[in-house]
């Protein structure tokens, strides 16, 4: 089903696909949406239920829909040639982290790294720490692997899958020293708010995976979502706000500006960082 001339309201189309409930084998819940890129040209995204959710039969509401986008030659090359160095295949069993990295080091896990530029930068600047990035957007995974290869990183791995499943099935309890969630999809419209990642069930998934003293670091440029992040975390007795005033924190030096954030800044958006520590 193609909808020509659709506006760049991807939120509602994305939600339409994600809630279609079709099993993957039906493969027909597919629309092409068009949105304007930075140069004013149209980009096409194909949204499909089959791509959106490998385990689509589960009734869980997804925090994303996969936009196919264009895979550049470089991204494709990185995916085929360097997946063996940087990729971790999704499996329904716990990772042996010392075996993955060949050492024991503090672990930062980032959910939804986008194109991975800031994640690669962080890993390059902090060689004593290991990083795992999780992303569902294929061009982003390719771009991140390409960046990691160009930088010669040995402390970064990526998983191309839904972070909710990865956290639930692959990450051992107490393994994460810092959970990074930067500019998660804000799902602006009230009827789509339920797709937001940050809610009490998300903390139930994340907190057991944090080491004692481990940190949850979130950032967003959408104020109502920042308020939700603050409220949900404040209400959880297992974590404490690291900001002495109990509010938002200044951006720590270790977090570079992300691609999404830079775009927001150009549009005049504010940014809110939140840092909570596991007790
Ligand atoms: C708004 S973008 C922000 C990207 C990047 N953090 C930045 O600041 O530029 C949110 C990203 O989260 C990814 N995402 C959303 N839900 C996810 C999930 N459950 N698992 C993995 N990635 C997810 C999306 O594919 C998208 O690339």
Can you read off the two tokens belonging to residue 96? 């042996």
Instruction: Please report which confidence band the pLDDT of residue 265 belongs to, taking 50, 70 and 90 as the band edges.
Output: confident
Nearest to 31 by CA among 139, 18, 135, 103: 18
Q: Is residue 27 scored above 60 in pLDDT?
A: no
Fold assignment, 91-278: Rossmann fold (3.40.50)
Instruction: Please report which confidence band the pLDDT of residue 276 belongs to, taking 50, 70 and 90 as the band edges.
Output: very high
Tell which atom from ligand 1 comes closest to the C-alpha of 162: 20
Q: In the sheet that 176-182 helps form, which strands lie side by side, from edge to edge?
A: 156-159, 130-134, 107-111, 176-182, 210-220, 272-278, 239-241
Q: How far is the CA of 162 from the centre of ligand 1 (A)?
A: 10
pLDDT at 60: 79
| Number of C-beta neighbours around residue 262 at 10 A | 12
pLDDT at 237: 98
- pLDDT tens sequence across 188-231: 999 999 999 999 999 999 999 999 999 999 999 999 999 999 99
Q: Is residue 261 scored above 50 in pLDDT?
A: yes
The SS3 assignment for 124 reads: helix
Nearest to 265 by CA among 252, 256, 253: 256
- Ligand 1 pocket by C-beta < 6 Å: which residues? 63-64, 111-114, 134-137, 140, 162-164, 182-185, 258-261
Q: Is residue 51 scored above 70 in pLDDT?
A: no
Q: Is residue 159 scored above 80 in pLDDT?
A: yes
Average pLDDT over residues 7-14: 42
Phi-psi region of 262 (alpha: psi -120 to 50; beta: other; left: phi over 0): alpha
Pocket test for ligand 1, best of 131, 133, 136 (most atoms within 8 A of CB): 136
Q: How far is the CA of 63 from the centre of ligand 1 (A)?
A: 9
Give me the residues paired with residue 215 across strands: 178, 277
For residues 207 and 103, give the distance between their C-alpha atoms in angstroms, rounded to a whole number.
24
Residue 273 near residue 219 (C-beta atoms within 8 A): yes
Can you read off the two tokens belonging to residue 219? 């950032």
For the entire predicted model, the pTM comes to 0.82
Tell which atom from ligand 1 comes closest to the C-alpha of 67: 25
Tell which atom from ligand 1 comes closest to the C-alpha of 117: 9
Instruction: Please report which confidence band the pLDDT of residue 163 belongs to, taking 50, 70 and 90 as the band edges.
Output: very high
Average pLDDT over residues 64-83: 91
The SS3 assignment for 71 reads: coil
The SS3 assignment for 165 reads: helix
Residue 109 near residue 178 (C-beta atoms within 8 A): yes
Closest-CA residue, ligand 1 atom 7, reads 260
Q: Is residue 255 scored above 90 in pLDDT?
A: yes
Q: How far is the CA of 114 from the centre of ligand 1 (A)?
A: 5
Closest-CA residue, ligand 1 atom 9, reads 260
Residue 254 near residue 126 (C-beta atoms within 8 A): yes
Q: Is residue 26 scored above 90 in pLDDT?
A: no
185 included as an active-site residue: yes
Instruction: Please report which confidence band the pLDDT of residue 259 belongs to, taking 50, 70 and 90 as the band edges.
Output: confident
Catalytic residue among 185, 204, 243, 253: 185
């Amino acid at each position: 089903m193609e909808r020509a001339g659709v506006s760049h309201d991807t939120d509602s189309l994305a939600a339409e696909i994600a809630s279609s409930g079709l099993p993957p084998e039906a493969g027909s819940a597919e629309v092409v949406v068009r949105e304007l890129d930075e140069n004013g040209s149209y980009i096409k995204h194909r949204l499909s239920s089959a791509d959106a959710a490998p385990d689509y039969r589960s009734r869980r509401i997804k925090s994303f829909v996969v936009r196919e986008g264009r895979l550049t030659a470089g991204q494709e090359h990185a995916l085929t040639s360097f997946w063996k160095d940087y990729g971790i295949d999704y499996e329904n069993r716990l990772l042996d982290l010392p075996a993955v990295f060949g050492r024991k080091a503090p672990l930062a896990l980032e959910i939804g790294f986008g194109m991975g530029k800031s994640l690669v930068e962080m890993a390059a600047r902090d060689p004593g720490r290991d990083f795992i990035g999780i992303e569902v957007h294929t061009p982003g995974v390719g771009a991140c692997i390409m960046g990691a290869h160009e930088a010669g990183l040995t402390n970064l791995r990526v998983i191309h899958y839904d972070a909710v499943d990865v956290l639930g099935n692959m990450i051992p309890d107490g393994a994460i020293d810092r959970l990074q969630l930067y500019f998660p999809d804000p799902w602006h419209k009230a009827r789509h708010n339920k797709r937001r990642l940050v809610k009490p069930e998300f903390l139930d998934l994340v907190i057991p995976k944090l080491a004692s003293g481990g940190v949850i670091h979130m950032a967003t440029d959408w104020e109502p979502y920042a308020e939700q992040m603050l409220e949900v975390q404040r209400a959880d007795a297992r974590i404490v706000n690291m900001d002495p005033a109990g509010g938002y924190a200044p951006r720590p030096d270790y977090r570079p500006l992300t691609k999404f954030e830079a775009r927001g800044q150009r549009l005049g958006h504010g940014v809110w960082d939140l840092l909570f520590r596991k007790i």
